[in-house]
Structure 1
């Protein structure tokens, strides 16, 4: 806004209603500097001018100050209820004084060095004087109009409508907008000068070009539009957000993965998700789809390891009627075609046969395919996400997976770490699943400290899937509202006993031990409190306190 006010070629002041602060441009600053009373009067006026006076663009004109100054207001309103006013100042004191003092045709009206035009007429509308800016405003030489009637000039379209004509008809001051022959917007104010008998003796008409203000208004409108688009996009993203920290975890590794997903979601690059069974690979595939621009179209999930090899091809590509024995007469739509404009997720991609890998590679490269038994090439448009729990590079070495397909799939690779590698996420996941199944079965159960301790220290070979199933089972078979260790599966209880003997640590003790292990390892690696703080995402003060607590040699 400051840059906009500076760009106005006439004296102007920016005023923000909420802050009650005026910012003048250079020309306005000179006026305020030389006449403090104008600034004081302006400040006083802004307090008492009613909101109605600002509802219309440049609705009213005020004359204030030790000299006569023409003050006009221009209001800009925003959707967030913030409001700016642009104040235009014109010193017209000499013009008024000379006009009132001199009743002859020799009055010379000379406005100060501003982009303003002044015309004086008599009581019949005959032009007596015209300033040197008239030609610039109306593209007509001023000397050609001296002695002519404003009524005739209005009819001929030199200026239309004529403010002077309205003043002569009504006897009242008039402010209006005109569009001149150069298609510029002109603000016109006509003031009646009355004699002792209250009859009009002169009409003074002030005009100034406000086209620049219109340009500013358009610029602000464009900015507002861009801001609205930005806010809509932001709200759209907010509405697509999944409760990531609660469902997946708060660990540094998972936050990095989520950040990567938000970066690539809207780009149609192929993504491969790797990780052990149960870490949530399909969840992340759905997450990418849900926050992408394709979220209104289908998300089609195919488990390549769950469908027999001889059926997988027809499931993926579909077939024409009568293509093979047992085929439906009307044919069948394939899953690739079903994912049109959406996302195709191929889970357990490593289980796909080499023969099908060749066909999939062709679809990726050409974006076309043929149904089984069909001759017509069908164009497809989908986003491809694949997942596997196996080492594809090792399979390539064994010649069980095509290298060219691997590089097509591996544009963006996301590895989901095992749950046992990010124990800080286990508590959040336990809380999430406890709440989920309590609500599902209308229960109100909680875990004892001892039971929670056992769950935190368990290895979770089956990852999130194993944890979810165990929580649901335990909630249903346990007695009472407090779930103790006796209701946990034997493998979890035995695992905890093997790790800790018969010692029963509290939850806080185990958390402290885990925190100590993290701090000690970080300090051994980074050597400084700054390095530890940066690596662990904590403040340096916290790092210093934790290191003093757990690292003896530092104390």
Structure 2
């Protein structure tokens, strides 16, 4: 190659790089690019402006070192390098602002080796503001209109069982009667107790929750009843009020009451009879006025038979008994709960997500051993772990997919269209279109080649993929 031709080629490459640089800088998203070793090779203007990080500070530096230097709390690019998969996280940059960072691996022609990671960064501060303003107005109305749901603060339901339970709870809330709430772990016993408190005459007073399973046996008495000044070596100067004193003029919830030691059960019975406590190291009784609610996931009758729970205490706390059925026995509550937690978490994280009908169908079939608590945790997992707006069955945790024997281990979800599917024409057409596009993507080395196979132009295919929530 002659010198003149070589110079022309270099000049052309420089012009191309400059053009590409201009295109990158026109992107409204912040772009951050690292090579296969995690070394920063490019940062655009939008990234500099939204994060306050100058490109010259990071170009040529290892992304892991930048995390250690606290430029970021964690790196989506490094995670994508490790997993070789598109990764989306909430990222805190410069210790002050939060962003949604989506890191996408770019592979070589073999589709095995990562050439670079391109991270798209969006500032969610303004989005959070907009969503919080609109969701506060829309959240309750939207859920109610869609499912004809009755709801109270933190209680979302559609089932007749919970409707009956809520009516009973509201009716007895007006009286100072002791209440025993039973139900499996995660069914919402604390939420129901709080609901009773909010509808009681003591609603302006404190709501004190005591987890009996979490207090060491030797500390029960001092935690519940408090201690006087100088009651024992190391005691806090001036003494300390116990949980019952703190609940005065309010409500106290003794959660997992079945874990209370027998000795403390006798002392609790005395407190309930006298409506007064005496601090450790003191002789002066302190009269109190409180509402007692107890909860447990154990069979107290069985504990009584085993001499592990006092029968007289059981009679005292079991004046009103409210039993919350497990989620698997009230299937009609699953969809409203999914919608509620999806909206709540999307608002919290500044994201927009949609759970596809196939995914909801599997979730409604799942038996939910962890009840409402497990469902909320699964929704949070789906919201933060998926990199596209649409959530498919493949995105569900493995134990849910395996439990119902999903016959799909491929990178893309298979779409099964049957005459019995309860979907309208538009949904069926979208599903069929997505299946054809996914098949073309799987059998093509690039999106451009897939567009040729589908006999549409590249830009048209990109738009269709974005509309259908397909990530290549």
TM bin, normalised by shorter chain, reads 0.5 to 0.7
The alignment's C-alpha RMSD in Å is 2.4
2 CA distance for matches of 1:303 and 1:419? Answer: 23
Map of 1:405-416 to 2, 5 A cutoff?
A: 405-416=313-324
Q: 1:356 aligns with which of 264, 272, 276?
A: 264
User: Which position in structure 2 is the counterpart of 1:84?
Assistant: none
Q: Note the alpha carbon deviations across 1:448-476, whole angstroms, 9 max, x for none.
A: 11111111111110000000011011100
In structure 1, the gaps of 5 or more residues are 1-241, 512-555
Q: 1:397 aligns with which of 305, 312, 324?
A: 305
Q: CA deviation at 1:499?
A: 11
1 CA distance for matches of 2:182 and 2:417? Answer: 35
1 CA distance for matches of 2:345 and 2:180? Answer: 31
1 CA distance for matches of 2:260 and 2:284? Answer: 25
Q: CA deviation at 1:243?
A: 3.1
- 8 Å contact from structure 2 (residues 155, 191) kept in 1: no
2 CA distance for matches of 1:508 and 1:366? Answer: 64
Distance 1:507 1:463, change over 3 A: farther
Q: Number of residues paired by the alignment?
A: 269
User: Which position in structure 2 is the counterpart of 1:425?
Assistant: 333
Map of 1:467-486 to 2, 5 A cutoff?
A: 467-486=375-394
2 CA distance for matches of 1:303 and 1:507? Answer: 52
1 CA distance for matches of 2:345 and 2:419? Answer: 23
Q: CA deviation at 1:498?
A: 7.3
1 CA distance for matches of 2:154 and 2:418? Answer: 24
User: Which position in structure 1 is the counterpart of 2:368?
Assistant: 460
Q: CA deviation at 1:307?
A: 1.3
| Pair 1:387-2:295 in alignment | yes
In structure 2, the gaps of 5 or more residues are 1-149, 409-413, 424-472
Q: 2:152 aligns with which of 241, 244, 265?
A: 244
- 8 Å contact from structure 1 (residues 277, 462) kept in 2: yes
SS at structure 2 position matched to 1:243: strand
Map of 1:126-205 to 2, 5 A cutoff?
A: none
- 8 Å contact from structure 2 (residues 153, 195) kept in 1: no
Q: Note the alpha carbon deviations across 1:262-284, whole angstroms, 9 max, x for none.
A: 11011000000000000000000
- 8 Å contact from structure 1 (residues 247, 432) kept in 2: no
User: Which position in structure 1 is the counterpart of 2:200?
Assistant: 292
Q: CA deviation at 1:248?
A: 3.0
Q: CA deviation at 1:308?
A: 1.0
User: Which position in structure 2 is the counterpart of 1:273?
Assistant: 181
1 CA distance for matches of 2:320 and 2:210? Answer: 20
1 CA distance for matches of 2:207 and 2:153? Answer: 23
2 CA distance for matches of 1:381 and 1:508? Answer: 60
Map of 1:248-259 to 2, 5 A cutoff?
A: 248-259=156-167
2 CA distance for matches of 1:454 and 1:291? Answer: 36
Map of 1:494-505 to 2, 5 A cutoff?
A: 494-497=402-405
Distance 1:385 1:245, change over 3 A: closer
Q: CA deviation at 1:487?
A: 1.3
Distance 1:281 1:504, change over 3 A: farther
Q: 2:274 aligns with which of 348, 366, 373?
A: 366
SS at structure 1 position matched to 2:227: coil
SS at structure 1 position matched to 2:222: helix
Q: CA deviation at 1:246?
A: 7.8
| Pair 1:338-2:246 in alignment | yes
Q: CA deviation at 1:508?
A: 7.9
Q: Note the alpha carbon deviations across 1:43-88, whole angstroms, 9 max, x for none.
A: xxxxxxxxxxxxxxxxxxxxxxxxxxxxxxxxxxxxxxxxxxxxxx
SS at structure 1 position matched to 2:325: coil
Q: Note the alpha carbon deviations across 1:85-133, whole angstroms, 9 max, x for none.
A: xxxxxxxxxxxxxxxxxxxxxxxxxxxxxxxxxxxxxxxxxxxxxxxxx
2 CA distance for matches of 1:274 and 1:453? Answer: 29
Distance 1:424 1:373, change over 3 A: same
SS at structure 2 position matched to 1:384: strand
User: Which position in structure 2 is the counterpart of 1:522?
Assistant: none
Q: CA deviation at 1:486?
A: 1.4
- 8 Å contact from structure 2 (residues 221, 264) kept in 1: yes
User: Which position in structure 1 is the counterpart of 2:395?
Assistant: 487
- 8 Å contact from structure 1 (residues 450, 506) kept in 2: no
2 CA distance for matches of 1:503 and 1:482? Answer: 14
TM-score (norm 2): 0.55
Q: Note the alpha carbon deviations across 1:312-344, whole angstroms, 9 max, x for none.
A: 211110001221222112110111001011001
User: Which position in structure 2 is the counterpart of 1:441?
Assistant: 349
Q: 2:191 aligns with which of 283, 291, 294?
A: 283
Q: CA deviation at 1:300?
A: 0.5
2 CA distance for matches of 1:505 and 1:429? Answer: 27
Deviates more, 1:282-291 or 1:488-497: 488-497
User: Which position in structure 2 is the counterpart of 1:327?
Assistant: 235
1 CA distance for matches of 2:332 and 2:393? Answer: 20
User: Which position in structure 2 is the counterpart of 1:54?
Assistant: none
Question: Based on CA coordinates, which of the two structures has the bigger radius of gyration?
Answer: 1
1 CA distance for matches of 2:315 and 2:240? Answer: 31
1 CA distance for matches of 2:283 and 2:330? Answer: 51
Q: CA deviation at 1:406?
A: 0.2
1 CA distance for matches of 2:276 and 2:239? Answer: 18
SS at structure 1 position matched to 2:196: helix
